Amino acid sequence: MLRWLVISVLFILWALPGHAAVKTIGHGESLRLDPSGFPQDMKAAYAVMQTKCTQCHSLERTVVAVSTGVAPISGRPFDRSAATAYGQKMLRKQNSRMSREEVKAVVDLLTYLVDNPQSRKQ
């Protein structure tokens, strides 16, 4: 069911050319953000995201959430408060192995992407 949901969301993104989507590289499980247009501090935060977040899941989940505004697993809205809530959740998870600073950097990046739609256009 989850795989079908993710595939459906990705198809919708592909079918709506006017949608302001995240600039991405790759497809499916290898889908990731293209940080080339990010400010330097956001590039550093993206490096943390690539290293830490992919220990448990692919970046595809993050790309879908940021580009659609909907968290792919829960189906709930993905906005500033959701980004903060996910960061707090990662701090509580023992196996996330993320420091407070790393979580803050990733939450700052997610907030940047949510708040700056122009940074997300392809």
Whole-structure pTM value: 0.76
Three-class SS state of 77:
strand
What count of other Cβ atoms lies within 10 Å of the Cβ of residue 84? 15
Q: What is the DSSP letter of 32?
A: E
Select from 74, 66, 70, 64 the least CA-distant residue to 31: 64
pLDDT tops 80 at residue 59: yes
- Strand boundaries in 20-109, DSSP class E: 24-25, 32-33
Q: Tokens in use for 80? A: 């500033």
Is the CB of residue 106 less than 8 Å from the CB of residue 45? yes
Count CA atoms within 13 Å of residue 69 on its CB side: 6
68-119 residue pLDDT tens: 899 999 999 999 999 999 999 999 988 888 999 999 999 999 999 998 765 5
Contact criterion met (CB below 8 Å) for 103 and 93: no
